[in-house]
Structure 1
Amino acid sequence: MNFGNILIEATAPIATITINRPDKLNALNKATIGDLHDAFTALESDPEIRVIIVTGSGEKAFVAGADIAEFSSFSEKEGKKLAQKGQEDLFDLVENLKTPVIAAVNGYALGGGLELAMACHFRIASANARMGLPEVSLGLIPGYGGTQRLPQLVGKGRAMEMIMTAGMIDAETALDYGLVNHVCAIEELQDYCQKLGAKIAKNSPVAISYAIKAVNTGFKYDTDGYQAEIKAFGKCFGTKDFKEGTTAFLEKRKPDFPGA
């Protein structure tokens, strides 16, 4: 897979997507969102890939926001379309991906960058990371899910403060808020994520995909997360992964999940 704005390194069972626009601090534009959409879709369909890590090139920024020059002259209609297409093509796609996605937040994660990190299933930050949603300082609000996912992760009050002040928080504050799961030195970030990914990859990919769906369902106002869990739990019993997992347990050996 060759892309203009991202790099992919896939060594089964883990693939790493690197947003590669260092001269723009890896800012998201339409082309980059398109590349990411295609990359995530392709990797999800690869049975050998069981974990995806997404990060930014260099040590300054994960993604320092959206490419403002690209939409500064948009009309209301164009702005709405921008947000809708972006959410559908990338942010909602990542959140609901069957393959777990870890955000390796190296440096600035601002605006659309933080929204991308929040769409991932969890986040690991380097000690130099800085996170925020500065949109109101531009006369905007977060448009790629930030007003929804941030309150889910840090609570309504903290989310309101972060959005309304347009300020940044450091990695330790993000850890305290529950916005990130772990913080480590920048030079250790990739190894840390790889080790976590390896732990995840040992488990049933089918069960993990059901778990992702059940957890996400619990955050939807019009659906019953408990019923979704019951349904997904039952479906697990019809999988080859369930048969392998229980057989391996009874035989006192490590399972070799087929992913089916």
Structure 2
Amino acid sequence: MTEVLVHRQDAIAVLTINRPRAKNSLNRAVFDGLHAQLAQLRHDESVRALILTGAEGVFCAGADITAFDALRAEPLLGARAAAGGMLWPALAGFPKPVIAAVEGLALGGGMELALACDIVIAGESARFGVPEVKLGAIPGGGGTQRLIRAAGKSKAMALLLTGDFMDARKACEAGIVADVVADGQALPAALAMAARIAANSPLAVALAKDAALCSFETSLAQGLEHEKRNFGVAMHSADSREGQEAFLGRRAPRFTGR
């Protein structure tokens, strides 16, 4: 079985975790498969947006617990790499917009995957959580850091320290999820949003994402300076001129990413 499936819909690439019998839990093959696809797709100029989802109604139930013994066999600092350490920065730093289409469970590493994406769309019955403390562990894929940035300290601490689950509506209220749709419609909704993104200037979208992510790493003053530089790049691009001419000519723009 291929653990990570990829298919294209026009300018959108869809990556699907494909271990439905194991609730799409994360093992070495999934980590390696996702990382390899991200490395390939980041350089594909025909791809303007990426969607991450799971097969058969489950996003990802977290780490494959049967692999814990293998992690303990790793040196202390090597366990992080063995747990897919290269995947998280590759996903969070992917230069094109990434949408998580979440149905069913997004737990542990599954929730961390969603948090590393730019936008999360969830089915009504989706559930989110980081229950690692119930197993004597803690999140290792950025959960302790990205959850607080997404939901704020109090709500993040409640999830991290109790291991409780959060339903899709509460996750939306907390700022973890952008939109909640009917069950079974997360992927169609993500595809529709990705198509709207893909219709925009790919250069402007990349610059906007880059400037926004900068806010997590810098002061406000530094972030504003970074935004100003990116604004200048965008305004001097061929896409900016094309967007202006298309608007004034009342026609659809033909963006090239230049």
TM normalised by structure 1 equals 0.92
Residue of structure 2 in register with 1:15 after alignment? 13
- CA contact under 8 A between 1:5 and 1:21: conserved in structure 2? yes
Once residues 84 and 250 of structure 1 are traced to their aligned partners in structure 2, the CA distance between those partners, rounded to angstroms, is 52
For residue 129 of structure 1, what is the aligned residue in structure 2? 126
Alpha-carbon deviation of 1:125?
0.4
Corresponding residue to 1:66 among 53, 63, 66: 63
**Aligned ranges 1:17-96 → 2 under 5 Å:** 17-59=15-57, 61-75=58-72, 78-84=75-81, 89-96=86-93
Q: State yes or no: 1:110 paired with 2:142.
A: no
Cα shift at 1:200 = 0.7
Q: Deviations over 1:60-118 (max 9, x none)?
A: x2010011221335349635333256565222211221111100011100000000001
- In the alignment, structure 1 segments of 5+ residues that lack a partner are none
- Decide whether the 8 Å contact of 1:98 with 1:208 is kept in 2: no
- 3-state SS of paired residue (2:190): helix
Instruction: Say if 1:140 and 1:27 are closer, same or farther in 2 by CA, change over 3 A.
Output: same
Kindly provide the CA deviation profile for residues 208-246 of structure 1, in whole angstroms up to 9, marking residues without a partner as x: 111111111101147821111111111113322222112
1:247 aligns with 2:235: no
How far apart, CA to CA, are the structure 1 residues paired with 2:160 and 2:233? 40
Q: Distance in 2 between matches of 1:12 and 1:230?
A: 32
Query: What SS does the aligned partner of 2:251 have?
Result: coil
Q: Which moved more, 1:231-240 or 1:97-106?
A: 231-240
Give the 3-state SS of the residue equivalent to 2:59 in structure 1.
Answer: strand
Alignment partner, residue 238 of structure 1 = 236
> Does the Cα contact within 8 Å between 1:5 and 1:20 map onto a contact in 2?
yes
Q: Is the CA contact 1:55–1:104 (under 8 Å) kept in the aligned structure 2?
A: yes
Aligned length: 257
* Unmatched runs of 5 consecutive residues or more in structure 2: none
Distance in 1, Cα, partners of 2:83 & 2:203: 27
Percent of aligned positions that are identical: 39
Does the aligned pair in 2 maintain the 1:117–1:123 contact within 8 Å? yes
Q: Structure 2 vs 1, CA of residues 82 and 254 (structure 1 numbering), >3 Å: closer, same or farther?
A: farther
Contact 2:28 2:84 in 1 (8 A): no
- Of the three residues 183, 186, 210, the one matched with 1:186 is 183
- Alignment partner, residue 161 of structure 1: 158
- SS state of the match for residue 75, structure 2? helix
Q: Is the 8 A contact 1:12 1:50 kept in 2?
A: no
TM-score by length of 2: 0.93
Cα distance change on mapping 1:95 and 1:231 into 2, 3 Å: same
Match of 2:15, SS state, is strand
SS at match of 1:209: helix
Aligned twin of 2:217: 220
